[in-house]
A and B are shown apart, each in its own frame.
Chain A
């Protein structure tokens, strides 16, 4: 039950994209059509779900004082986390290419982009500061990825529709995307008052 709570909290109430505004660069750049947004969203769920447990293991069993080296190595956290993320993305890319060329073709270009998506590194850093245990970190990773997926699909759908509206020229494209994201963020803030314990 605790895990379901964490999943729901990280997907809706503490949405990485719309409550913390993480991963905004790719969120704004790749949300022009629903199709590409769908591919990137799936890839983010995948990578968050994989890197979060690995980073948890690294953080508790290698870097902490009770870990393998018996010394406090937390100052190496950034370098190790980003190395794990970069190598995981590379690995995931190779595995998908080998076993499912059709999925690889639809995700293809987005996979390398994910390395610099701050939702991934941010998720891992939040996991450390929230002091989750192993199953909780898996739930947090999947939930966070799912929330990000929903957010990018929603903005892409709105942006596809807004093409047919008469927006002032200077506001077209990027400017409008910012205002829309702000409004969606406001909408998501109303979910913040929900106490996941009652669900």
Chain B
């Protein structure tokens, strides 16, 4: 990211190649989860169900983009010594907003996510982007960077959640797709598609998320050779 920081041009709002790169880079080459290894904790905990993962992704995209924007606006007024605390307060403020909104609008999802909404504060993606990008770039570019990293995180989260929910419960977004679901009634014929499939309970447990991310990293690096670990 150092070279993008150096290349900071006029603050005019334009959408050129460099801006597009800010949005697309985190999706693959610089993905927050599989390459930067940031924000793993929440990626593991909220991916048992697809709808939880989607809500979490939206929350992180929101917090990441606006924390970047606010920090970037204030970047010339924040003294170096206390910047960590200032950043944490900005993030904590946004997360509290998200938490209260979810509590009011979607209480069941809020209950499901429990402490993990709060843990967005210590989600290193947000903190890492503030430190690495927003402190050195103008508000518009920082906002795009936040959006891009939020999306990169969300994409991985949704892929993991889809795999885990499909194989663990046989459903997607709570619609039964394969195998007999919890509402299985003996005399219906609606479960004909792959009805023999027995949901694999391991996929709902925490360790399976580790396996799924490990395999995703494996696939990504086999395909994108420049990411392979030299050490």
Contacts of A122 in B (CB 8 A): 41, 115, 119, 122
Closest beta carbon of chain A to B27's beta carbon, Å: 18
B92 within 8 A of A: yes
Q: Could you say which of B41, B95, B114, B207 contacts A78, with CB atoms under 8 Å apart?
A: B95
> Do B124 and A179 touch across chains, with their CB atoms under 8 A apart?
no
Q: What's the tally of chain A residues with a CB closer than 8 Å to chain B? A: 47
Beyond A19-B206, A79-B96, A183-B207, whether A176 also contacts B222 by CB under 8 A is no
Report A80 CB to chain B, min CB distance, Å.
9
In this assembly, does B84 line the interface, its C-beta being within 8 Å of a C-beta of chain A?
Answer: yes
Binds A, one of B53-61, B68-76, B135-143, B211-219: B211-219
Chain B contacts of A126 at CB under 8 A? 115
Q: Are B96 and A78 touching (Cβ within 8 A)?
A: yes
Known: A125-B115, A183-B207. A21 touches B41 (CB 8 A): yes
Interface with B: A35-43, A64-72, A94-102, A110-118, which one?
A110-118
Say whether B159 faces chain A, with CB atoms less than 8 Å apart: no
Report if A28-B207 is in contact (Cβ < 8 Å); known contacts: A172-B228, A175-B218: no
**B173 at interface by CB-CB < 8 Å:** no
Task: Give every chain B residue within 8 A of A25 (Cβ-Cβ).
Answer: 37-41, 124
> Which chain B positions have C-beta within 8 A of A20?
45, 206
Chain A residues whose CB sits within 8 angstroms of the CB of B217 once the complex forms: 170-171, 174-175, 178
What 0/1 pattern do residues 165 to 199 of A give for CB contact below 8 A with B?
A: 00011111111111101110110010000000000
Chain A residues positioned under 8 Å from B122 (CB to CB): 82, 115-118, 120-122
Chain A: which residue is nearest B213 at the CB level? A178
Complexed CA–CA distance, A185 and B208 (Å): 9
A77 to B96, CA, bound (A): 9
Does B6 reach chain A (CB closer than 8 Å)? Answer: no
Contact A24 B44 (CB under 8 A): yes
C-alpha gap A185/B206 in the complex (Å) = 8
B44 partner residues in chain A, CB cutoff 8 A:
21, 24
Q: Given the complex, which residues of A lie within 8 Å of B114, measured CB to CB?
A: 129
A157 within 8 A of B: no
A179 CA / B132 CA spacing, docked (Å): 29
**Within the complex, what minimum Cβ distance (angstroms) separates A55 from chain B?**
12
Task: Jot down 18 A-B pairs with beta carbons below 8 A, ordered by A.
Answer: A19-B206, A21-B41, A21-B209, A22-B119, A25-B39, A25-B40, A28-B40, A32-B231, A79-B96, A118-B122, A121-B122, A125-B119, A172-B228, A178-B211, A182-B210, A182-B214, A186-B207, A189-B207
Please give the residue numbers on chain B whose beta carbons come within 8 Å of chain A beta carbons, in ascending order. 34, 37-42, 44-45, 84-85, 88-89, 92-93, 95-96, 99-100, 114-115, 118-119, 121-124, 127, 205-211, 213-215, 217-219, 221-222, 228-229, 231
